Amino acid sequence: MSLPKALEGRRRAVIENITPSVDGGRYAAKRCIGDTVTVEADVFVDGHEELRCVLLHRRRGEARWNESEMTFLVNDHWRGTFTVTALGAYEFTVTAWPDAFLTWRHDLARWTAVEDVAVALQVGIALLRDIVQRAQGSDAKQLRKWIARLGADADPMVLRNEALDDAVMMLVERYADRRHATIHDPPLPLWVDPVQARFSAWYELFPRSAASGGRHGTFADCEARLPEIAQMGFDVLYFPPIHPIGRTKRKGRNNALVAGPTDPGSPWAIGAREGGHKSIHPELGSAQDFRRLVSAARERGIEIALDIAYQCSPDHPYVTEHPQWFKHRPDGSIQYAENPPKKYQDIYPFDFDTEDWRALWEELKSIVDHWIGEGVRVFRVDNPHTKPFEMWHWLIAEVKRVHPDVIFLSEAFTRPRPMHRLAKVGFTQSYTYFAWRNTKQELVDYFTELTQSPSREYFRPNVWPNTPDILTAYLQTGQRAAFIARLVLAGTLSTNYGIYGPAFELMEHAPREAGSEEYLYSEKYEIRDWTRERRDSLRPLLARINAIRRGNKALQQDRELRFHATDNAELICYSKATQDGANVVLVVVNLDPYYKQAGFVDLALAELGVDPTQPFEVEDLLTSARYTWRTGRNYVELRPNEMPAHIFRVSPLVPREAQPSAAAKALA
Amino acid sequence: MSLPKALEGRRRAVIENITPSVDGGRYAAKRCIGDTVTVEADVFVDGHEELRCVLLHRRRGEARWNESEMTFLVNDHWRGTFTVTALGAYEFTVTAWPDAFLTWRHDLARWTAVEDVAVALQVGIALLRDIVQRAQGSDAKQLRKWIARLGADADPMVLRNEALDDAVMMLVERYADRRHATIHDPPLPLWVDPVQARFSAWYELFPRSAASGGRHGTFADCEARLPEIAQMGFDVLYFPPIHPIGRTKRKGRNNALVAGPTDPGSPWAIGAREGGHKSIHPELGSAQDFRRLVSAARERGIEIALDIAYQCSPDHPYVTEHPQWFKHRPDGSIQYAENPPKKYQDIYPFDFDTEDWRALWEELKSIVDHWIGEGVRVFRVDNPHTKPFEMWHWLIAEVKRVHPDVIFLSEAFTRPRPMHRLAKVGFTQSYTYFAWRNTKQELVDYFTELTQSPSREYFRPNVWPNTPDILTAYLQTGQRAAFIARLVLAGTLSTNYGIYGPAFELMEHAPREAGSEEYLYSEKYEIRDWTRERRDSLRPLLARINAIRRGNKALQQDRELRFHATDNAELICYSKATQDGANVVLVVVNLDPYYKQAGFVDLALAELGVDPTQPFEVEDLLTSARYTWRTGRNYVELRPNEMPAHIFRVSPLVPREAQPSAAAKALA
C-alpha cells in the first residue's frame, strides 16, 4: 500500500496564504506592544460544508495556544485578530475544520418540507449526542436538555426554530469535534517591539560640537543641550561614534588626505591607543559621564542612540591583538579599505572570511552588549550591508532575546534587496531613499510602496531629509522653504524620521564642491561652532511639528496613508487617519521652494471618514487657522516664503456623537 | 557561546525569491518535455565582491547536479536556463558565492597607478597558487604558466592586460573555491508532462449517441467516427462515464424525477448490477471493444479520455460491499446527495470522513490504474473539488510516479482558490471560467491573469465554449457568429481547448427553459440522433482552426499572449509569437454576433517583433486573404454573417534574413 502511515486523510480543510508572513514564515513580521494584529488566510474545504476557523496565538515558549475565532470575509478569505501585550517573540497559526454542527444547522434552515425537517432533527440529535460526550457540568446538562427537546413530540417547524437559536450554536461551538482539524504548520513568527520602534523622532548631533567657542564638546555639554532637544520634541538623540579616533592616516578638514596637527579626525576611524569600540574618546568624558548623560536624557524622555560602525583605524587595539581578523597585503601589511582606484588608508575593514570568524562575531556582539550595559537601548548601525547578513541575523536575535526593547536602525543606503534583507534578518528600522525622492510622483510611488506593499510587515522606514553624508541638491538650492517642505514631508509621511542638527535647523546648505552631497566644513572632519540662537532657526517649527506628531495618533502609524489628487504637480496632498476615524490629519505641501503654488485638492472624503453630505472643519495645526470645507474639492494656496505646507486636522462641524454613522459607515 | 555549531558564517551569499516556485516549493511548477526552463533568483552578497551564480538541476533521484552558469540581469536579479528532456520529476536550485578571482579581476582592471597594479598582480599570484591546487593535468600546467608569467620581470601594465584575458577567467572558473558557497535549500520541484498537457484540442462525445437512427451507440460506432474527428483535427476524444448506469431513482428525459421504461439514465449515475467504475455499460460493448477503440484512436493521433466521477448510483456494488464508505441516515438508509431543499436521490456520494478512508482511497486509485491498464492515458475528473484535496495530491502523484505521461483534467467550476489548489496538488489541466467571459474587458482581464500571473506555473487552462452542462446565454442567442467567435477565442487564446460535439458544430442552442444553461433534450438523459451532415455545420471551420493551431507554433504556447488596443469595444485584438519571433499570429474577433463592427487596431509592433519602419504582410489564415500593412494602426471590419474573426499570420515583406536585427532587437 502506498498510503503513508502518518497521513490523516480526514484532515480536509485547507489553509493557505496566511498573512502577515515574511518569506513564508522564515522571518518574523514586526509589530509594537499594544498593537492589534490582524491575521488573514485563505481557508476552504472540499465540498459544501460549513467551516470553523480559529486563530491560534501565543508568546513563543508558552505551552498553550490562545484562541480567537476568525470571520469569513469573501472568496474563501478569513480574518482574525489578537493583541500583543508583551515585548519579544510571538507566534501564531490558523486551525480550521469542516464543522458538522454548523453544516447541519445551515442545512436545517434550508429544508422546507416538514418531513425533511423531521429527519434533519433526528440527525441533529445524533450529532448533539456525540458533542455532549465532550461537555461537562452545566454545559452537558444544557446540551442534554436540548437533545431531549429535539426529540419531543412537537411540531418539527417549531423545534427547528428552537434548534437554530444562537445560544445552541454558541454552546456547541465550545465542544466541536476537532480531531481532524487542520493546523497550519509551522506557526508564523511575529516580533513585538517597543512603540518607539514605530514612532520616533531622531536628532543627530556630533557631541564634540556640543560646546561653543570651538572647544571640544563633552558629554556634559551634551547634557546641557538636553532641555533644548527635549523642547524641540525629539525622543532619540543619536551620536556618531564616541570612541577614540585613530591617528595614522587621519583625514583632515574637508576630507583632506593629510590631517593638520589639531584636526580631530573622523569619528568613524575608530580605535587608538586609548582603546577601541568599548572605549570613549577621552576628550568627550568618562564612562561615568556617559552613563550620567544617558540617565539625564531618559528623564526627559530621550534615548541616547550610539553608532555601531564595525571597522577599525590602523591604531585600533584589534589590529595588533587580532591580526587574523584582517586581510593582509602581499608585503604583510594589513589591507585598508579600497574601491579601486580609490583608497581609504585610515580604515581597516574586518575580514569576515577569516578562519577565526566565530571569535570575531562574538567580539562584535560583545560591543553591543557592552553599551547595553552602559544603558544604551538604541543603536544606529553604520553600513550593515558590508557585513554578513547572517551575522546580523544571529547578533540581533541574540541581543533581542535578552533585551527585547533594543532598537537597531540600519544605515544601508544601497540596492533595494540588501536593504530589505537587513530588515528581514532583524533590523528594527531602516534608512530609506527619502532624501532623493523629491517630485510628487516620486513621493507618491515611494511611500505607497513603503506603506502598502507586503514589505511593510518587516521594513520600517526612518526618513531623513539630511545626514552628515547627505546634503541633497534640493536643500542646497531651495533655501528655507526647501528645509521646511522636507521636514513636513518627513515628519508626516513617516512615523519615524530624523534630522542631522544643528545643520538642519540652521539650514546649512553649502556643499563641499558643486555636484557633491558632502557638506563644506563637514563635522565629520572638524569641530563646528554652531551659532544656534539665530532668529531664522527652524527650532520653533521643529518643536511644532513634533508636538503635532505627538498630539495626533493618526501620525503615529503609516498603514492608513492615502494620497489625494491635486491639479498642480507641485502640490502633494495626503492624509492619515486612525482606524476608528477619531483622528484625521490632512497634509498639503508645496514642493516648489521658489514660487507660490495654488490649486484644487480632491479629497476622497469617504476614505477620510468624513460625511460628504456635511460641511467639515480643517484646522491648520501649523498656523491655527480654521476653514470650513463643504465638499471634497477645495482650493489651497501655499507661498514658500511664508509657509509651504498645511497640516490640517479634519473634524466634523457637527459633533461626532450627533452623527455617529458617518465615520463608522466609511470605515465599515 | 551562543553561536550554533552548524552555522558557517563565511557562507555569505544570499539567494532569495527563486522562480518558478509554487507556494515556496511545496508544489511542483509544470513544464512539458523539450521545454527550456528559465530560472530566476535574487542573489547578492554583503559588500562589493563579484558573485558567481550557478543553476543546479537534475531529474529527481539522480545523485549529481547538472550545472549551468547564471547571468546577472539587473538589481541583484539573475537568470539561468536548462532544458528538460524526460518526463517526470525534476528538481533545481541555485548556488552562489563571492568569487575571489572575479573580484580580483574586477579590481585589477580599475587600478590606474603602476605601483597599485604591481601589488594587485602579487595578490593575483597568491590567488592562482591557491586555485592551481584544485586543478590537474593540462589545466594545472596552464595555470602554473600564468603564475610564472604574472611574476615575470615585465611592465605591470602589460602583465595586467594578459591577466585580464578571458581565457584565464574561463579556466580559473572551473576551479573556483566553492567551500563557502550558499546553496538554496531545499531544491524546488518541477514536473515535466508530455507536450499534450500544454497543447491539446478536445472533442467530447456521448458514445451512446454515436450511432444513428436512435439506436444505442457502441464503441464500434465511435470507431467509425474516428476519421471524421481526426479530420477535424482533435487529439483528445473524451467520453462521459462508460460504466453501467443505475436504475434506482433513475432520471428521465430533461432531468425528469421519474424515468420512463426506455430512458437510458445519466451516465454519471454510475453502478448497477452489471458492475461499477471498472465495468463497461453492456450496450456500449466489451472491454475488448474498448481496447480496440483506444488503439484505433491512437493510430490516428487521438487519445481516448475517460471521465473519473467518484460517486455511485444506489445500485453500485460498492453500496452493498462497502456500506461503511457512505453516510447513513437516521433510518439506516444510505444518504443520497442533497443541497437543501434539493435532493439528488439517484446519487450516493462517498463519505470521505469514513473510518475506512484508507481502503476507500486505495480503491478509488485502483479505478484509475484499471483504465490505465486498458490503455487510457487521459482522464477528465468530474467535480474534483468535492473530494479531499489531499486525496488528489496522493493519488495523482502515485499514478504519475509510475505513469508520468498521464494527463488529468480538473472539472472544478467553483471558486478560484479551490480550483487553484487542485492544480497545485497535481491536476495537469483545469477547466476555467472562459464560458462566462464574454466582453472584451472580461477576456483581456481573465487571459492576462491566466497567462501572466504566477499561477501560470501550475494552472494550465483548458477552455470550453460549451459542455453538456453549459450552454451559455451568448450561444443561446448569438447563433452561428457566436459559435464561431467563441471557437476562435478558445482555440487561439488558449493552447488547450475543447468542445462538446456534435452539439457545438451543429450550433445546438435551445435551453431546457429560459434562464437555464441546460440543453433542451440534453444528452445527459437521452440518446440523441444527430444529423451531422448539415450544410451549415461548423465541421470545416473546426478543421481549419485546428490546422491553423498545428501549423503555427505561436498558438502552441500561452506565455507570449499580448493584447493590442482597438478603438471599438466589440473588437478584441491579441497576438502570440514564438520566442524567436519566427512565427507571429495576430487575432481580431468581433464579439458582437449581430452587427458588423469596424475600427482601428493599434499594434505594439516592437512586441510583435516587427520592424516598425518596414511594411509587413498579414495573411488571414481563415480566408487566405493577404494584406500589406505599413504601420501599427490598421483598419479592420468584421461581419458576423460572413466571418467574425481574422487569424492573421504576420510576416515581414522583406525576408527575415535580409533584416536580421528587427525581431532580435525587439526580443532582446
- Using a CB-CB cut-off of 8 Å, the residues of chain B touching A352 are 9-10, 12, 46
Residues of A with Cβ-Cβ distance to B358 under 8 angstroms: 1, 3, 9
User: Which secondary structure element, helix H or strand E, spans residue B617, and what is its range?
Assistant: strand B616-620
Active site residue A338: no
Question: What tens digit of pLDDT does each residue of A428-438 get?
Answer: 999 999 999 99
Q: What is the C-alpha to C-alpha distance for residues B345 and B255, in angstroms, rounded to an integer?
A: 12
Identified catalytic residue from B204, B363, B411, B592: B411
Distance (Å, whole) CA B84 – CA B409: 22
Q: Which residues of A touch B1 (CB under 8 A)?
A: 358, 362
For residue B644, give the amino acid letter. P
Least Cα distance to B461 among B424, B487, B423, B489 occurs for B423
Mean of the per-residue pLDDT values of chain B: 96
Q: Check CB contact under 8 Å for B341 and A111.
A: yes
Strands (E), A156-195: 182-183, 188-193
Q: Give the residue among A375, A374, A423 at the shortest CA–CA distance from A396.
A: A423
| Alpha-carbon gap, residue A590 to A592, rounded angstroms | 5
Examine the predicted complex and report whether its ipTM is higher than 0.85.
Answer: yes
B445 catalytic per annotation: no
* Residues A163 and A36: beta-carbon distance below 8 Å: no
Per-residue confidence (pLDDT) for residue A9, from 0 to 100: 96
**Closest CA of chain A from B305, distance in Å:** 24
Number of Cβ within a 10 Å radius of residue B5? 6
Question: Residue B655 has what pLDDT?
Answer: 61
To 5 degrees, how large is the angle CA B622–CA B626–CA B630?
130
Residue B100: what are its φ and ψ, rounded to 5°?
-60, -40
A369 part of contact set with chain B, CB < 8 Å: no
pLDDT in tens, B632-663: 999 999 999 999 999 999 998 866 555 444 44
Q: With cut-offs at 50, 70 and 90, classify the pLDDT of residue B668.
A: very low
The CA-atom distances, in angstroms, between A383 and each of A307, A369, B589 are: 10, 19, 57
Instruction: Kindly report the backbone phi and psi dihedral angles of residue A337, in degrees, each rounded to the nearest multiple of 5, phi listed first.
Output: -70, 140
DSSP A355-393: TTHHHHHHHHHHHHHHHHHTT--EEEEESGGGS-HHHHH
> At residue B133, what is the residue type?
Q
Residue A608: the pLDDT is 85
- Find chain A residues with C-beta within 8 A of B353's C-beta: 10, 12, 180
Residue of A3, A343, A360, A366 to mutate for B, most B C-beta atoms under 10 A:
A3
Comparing CB atoms, the residue among B2, B126, B421 nearest residue A398 is: B2
Reduced to 3 states (helix: H, G, I; strand: E, B; else coil), residue A499 is strand
CA distances A307 to A194, A220, A289, A371, Å, are 20, 19, 18, 10
Please tell me the predicted confidence (pLDDT) of residue A331: 94
Outline where DSSP puts E strands in B425-534. 429-431, 461-463, 496-500
Question: What was the pLDDT predicted at A1?
Answer: 52
pLDDT tens readout for residues B284-302: 999 999 999 999 999 999 9
Give the pLDDT mean for B105-127. 96
Instruction: Please tell me whether the peptide bond between A189 and the residue prior to it is cis, using omega within 30 degrees of 0.
Output: no
**pLDDT recorded at residue B607:** 82
Q: Is B119 on the interface with A (CB under 8 A)?
A: yes
Q: Do B123 and A330 touch (CB under 8 A)?
A: yes
Confidence of residue B7 (pLDDT cuts 50, 70, 90): very high
* Closest residue by Cα to residue B493 from B568, B585, B383: B585
**pLDDT tens digits, residue range A609-641?**
888 889 999 999 999 999 999 999 999 999 999
For residue B123, give the nearest of A117, A333, A211, A103 by alpha carbon. A333
Residue B271: CB atoms within 10 Å: 24
Question: Do A333 and A343 form a contact (C-beta atoms < 8 A)?
Answer: no
Contact status, residue B341 vs residue A112, Cβ threshold 8 Å: yes
Q: How far is B389 from chain A (nearest CA, A)?
A: 7
Nearest CA among B229, B191, B1, B227 for reference residue B92: B191
Per residue, what are the HEC states of B94-126? EEEEECHHHHHHHHHCCCCCHHHHHHHHHHHHH
Residue among A14, A329, A416 whose CB faces B389 most closely: A14
Q: What is the pLDDT of residue A654?
A: 67
DSSP B133: T
The whole-number pLDDT of residue B633 equals 96
> Please, are residues B268 and B258 in contact by the beta-carbon 8 Å criterion?
no
Q: What per-residue string of b and e applies to B571-582 under the rule 16 or more CB within 10 Å gives b?
A: bbbbbbbbeebe
B46 at A interface, C-beta within 8 A: yes
Chain A residues within 8 A of B414 when measuring between CB atoms: none
Q: Does B50 touch chain A (CB under 8 A)?
A: no
Rounded CA-CA distance A298/A295 in Å is: 5
Average pLDDT rounded to a whole number, residues B415-424: 98
Q: B418, A9: Cβ pair inside 8 Å?
A: no
- Grouping H, G, I as helix, E, B as strand and the rest as coil, residue A291 is helix
> Which residues, given as ranges, of chain A have pLDDT below 70?
1, 654-668
Please say whether the beta carbons of A648 and A638 come within 8 A. Answer: no
Residue B97 main-chain phi, psi, to 5 deg: -155, 150
> Any chain B CB within 8 A of the CB of A228?
no
pLDDT of residue B654: 67
- Which residue of A lies nearest to B116 if distances are taken between CA atoms? A341
Measured between CA atoms, how close is A122 to chain B, in angstroms? 6
Torsion over CA: B240, B214, B518, B236 (sign): positive
Q: Do A44 and B107 touch (CB under 8 A)?
A: no
Q: Is the CB of B7 less than 8 angstroms away from the CB of A48?
A: no
pLDDT the model gives residue B403: 98
Confidence of residue B667 (pLDDT cuts 50, 70, 90): very low
Q: Nearest CA to CA, how far is A494 from chain B (Å)? A: 26
Chain B interface includes A357 (CB < 8 A):
yes
